Chain A
Amino acid sequence: MNILVCIKQVPDMEASFIPNAAGTWFDEAGLAWRMNDYDEFAVEEAVRLRERLGGNAEVTVLSIGPDRVVETIRKAIAMGCDRGVHVRDAGAELRDPWQIAGMIAGYARGKGFDLIFTGMQSTDRGSAQVGVLAAELLGIACTTTIVGFSLENTTATVERELEGGARGIVRLTLPALLTCQLGLNTPRYPTLPNIMRSKRAAIEVLSSEDTGLTAPLTSGAGFARHERSASCTVLEGEVNGLADEVLEVLGRKTAVLRRGGAG
């Protein structure tokens, strides 16, 4: 069983984002980087499958981006992936989903991957397109937003998350690409020996040209903070004073304090 996991390195979402000089994306200065939340579930699912299958399976982890993404590839190796591939692309943060999917497909084509796991989306761009586009370019079966996965021979049975917490059961004949939703599993913390192993692991480096970078289909034209609701009042200060102020506002603006509760 030949398994590929595609991961993205993203900034910590708690950060304050400042537009770059062109005003099309965020400035990277001072940001802390980590693995996209959704991709952690993809890595975990791939590694669990490899562990169930024993010696007859291999997990390759691929990431596209500048040299900083190597750190995230090493984290995936520390979680249990066998080998890492870095598509070195200094301009990756401005690529559109079509270009990223094209590079993934360009790498994977002809390598006989039976299963490809990706996150359902990234926390920074959030297009939810890349996995599906890559599957379409490769001409393989695909389903999105999985919260359950099992495999028997060449048939994967997955649960897709739908609205309101309902689930759809889908069976796919391999090869297939699956995009992973939060909560699919519990991603592990790497152990110290595995962290040490990941630091020594050789990582294959390719260029964006090696994987067939194409022209974009969209362009970024603006990046800005959401406007706070015009009616949103912001209170800061010492907690006891804040609690008094909040009670005063709730008493004035809502009926809930008059109506009941223990108040």
Chain B
Amino acid sequence: MNEIWNKFLKEGKLVDFPIIDIHCHMGFFYGSQMPYSFPEIMVKRMKKAGVKLAVFCHHYSLFFPEIGNRFNIEVVRKYSDKFKAYCGINPNYQDAIKKDLEKLDKYTDIYVGFKLLPDYHGVCLSDSRYREVFEFADKNKLIVLTHTWRGSIYDGADEVEKIIKKYKNLTLILGHSLHGDWDKAIKFAKNYENIYLELCAILDERGIIEKFAKEGLFNKILFGTDFPWFNHHYYIGALIGAGIDENILRKIFYENAIKLIKKWEN
């Protein structure tokens, strides 16, 4: 086996391998037990796997409209070296979106961009209720992470294509890489400079990351786990197990993400 595997097996983390998890959450979730879902324990678990930074959107921001993004802000303020947040967008509450956008420039130390969850909120990406967010992100060259899934009328390939044809300046991260619609995900990442693929829910299946690697998409893939849904060591082991070279692993685990975040900070 390769050297990087032996190092991770022995140490669990590498000092010169500062992993960035670009797709995280926080807090309880109705659909399953998440025993390690609060910041104090998440920080401990991240340290164990050498995860330097988790970019998250709190479950309550996405599922509890009355609370908005308050927890996202509080957590990043408390653990500014461990977490950055996505501003959670629920398109069913336009007033909240307006307020969030108005205040966004006050929180450049908190947010790296926006998080969209069209399948759960029941609103298509191309729906007018998202327009203000996309226009804002495009104008200001911001990051948008959206859930995407094969066959979804809300965030499947057809909806993604409408957005990427229209907005060329924002950075669109396809959460779960259009899960199951791999050829479309590859096509979008190849043809559109501002499209990135994210690996959550992909590394529990052999053969997919290998397809992405075969297409040479090394600069367009980001490491994400939905943490605290899924375990970092499991995903790290899977990515190493796919037999990808160390220099490419470094791009996927952190170098590509650093470039995007720096772009936002600048």
| A in complex with B | no
Q: Which residues of B contact A (CB under 8 A)?
A: none
Interface residues of A (CB under 8 A from B): none
